[in-house]
Every structure is written in structure tokens, then in C-alpha cells.
Amino acid sequence: MTTINLFLLATALTSGLIAGLFYSYSCSVNPGLGALPDAGYLSAMQSINRAILNPVFFFSFMGTLLLLPLSTYQHLGTGTRFYLLLGATLVYVIGTFGVTAAGNVPLNELLSKMNLTGASTDELAAHRLRFEMPWNRLHAIRTYASVLSFVLVLLACLTPLDKH
């Protein structure tokens, strides 16, 4: 196996891990959290947002951000495989990383500053209203983007090189 193929395989692995994380979150965690009362929802999200900041998550999230452009560059001039990887890179950088950095992270930081202890029922409802819908909408975008990016990487893996 060549170095180029090893990088492509690593790219498929990390992008698949992120797509799977966001997909599973959409299928299970969001619906479960959505059923909680306001205080429980906000407290659980604060806890999850702290827990996700760990080396395993950063390895796959940032690893994909680094490996996609590298794999794309390595396949420059290979025809279809290059264009699939270029598409995967653009979708991930803009739709997954960009949406997370510009949308979800600022909302998470806002949530982390909310003092839930002693907040009234109305205050908790207002906090949730400002957070939940925008966060879920952004999460849906990054989920679709990460899954699309992963599919494009898989297609690149299955596409024969057509060097010119």
C-alpha cells in the first residue's frame, strides 16, 4: 500500500468517525435531550459541551480538517478522484468545520455562561429558546455536510486513478 493510499484511508476513517458522531447525535441525543424539561436540557447540554472537548474528538475533527486537503493535493492530476476529494474538502471545511466554528461553538460558549442555578422557570425557558433551535439547525447542516463529505471520500476510494 502506498503512502498516498494510507493517507486516503486515514482520511476516510476520520471523516467517517465525524459523520458517524454527528449522525448518531442527531438520531439519539438530540431527540432524547429534546424531551427533557428546560433545566434538565440546559444542564445536560452544558455537560455534553464540556465532555466533547477531548483528545479523541479533536483527533478525528481536526484530523479530517488536515487530511482532506492533504489527500486532495496528493491526488492532483488524477482526474475524478481529485475532484471527489476536492468536493469533500470544500464541503467539510465550509459545512462541517465552518458551521461548527462560526455557529455551534459560539452558542456553546453562550450556554456555558448561563447560570442555571436559581434561574426562574421563565428564564430557563428563555435560555432554551435562544439556544436549542439555532443549535439544532446548525447541527443538522454540519451533519449533512459531514455525511456528504464522507460519501465523497468513499467514492474517491472506490474510483480508479485516471492519470493523464
Q: Where are the beta strands (DSSP E) in the chain?
A: none
Nearest to 8 by CA among 145, 152, 146: 152
Can you give the pLDDT at residue 49? 97
Q: Please report the pLDDT score of residue 2 as a whole number.
A: 86
| Confidence at residue 8, expressed as pLDDT on a 0 to 100 scale | 97
For 97-106, write each residue's pLDDT tens digit: 999 999 999 9
Q: How does pLDDT run across 8-39, given as a tens digit for each residue?
A: 999 999 999 999 999 999 999 999 999 999 99
Is the sign of the CA dihedral 94, 96, 148, 1 positive or negative? Answer: positive
* pLDDT score of 135: 99
pLDDT at 1 over 90: no
CA distances from 38 to 31, 35, 43, 105, 123 (A): 14, 9, 8, 20, 10
**Structure-model confidence comparison of residues 160 and 26, the more confident one:** 26
Tell me the three cell numbers of residue 37: 424539561
For the chain, what is the mean pLDDT?
96
For residues 67 and 8, what is the distance between their CA atoms, to the nearest angstrom?
A: 8
Q: In the prediction, which pLDDT does 88 show?
A: 99
| Residue 91 predicted with pLDDT over 70 | yes
Cell of 41: 436540557
pLDDT reported for residue 163: 60
Boundaries of every domain in the chain: 3-158
Q: Are 85 and 156 in contact (CB under 8 A)?
A: yes
Q: Give me the pLDDT at residue 161, please.
A: 79
The span from the CA of 76 to the CA of 85, in Å, is 10
Q: Is the pLDDT of residue 164 over 70?
A: no
Q: Which residues contact 164 (CB under 8 A, 6 or more apart)?
A: 77, 79
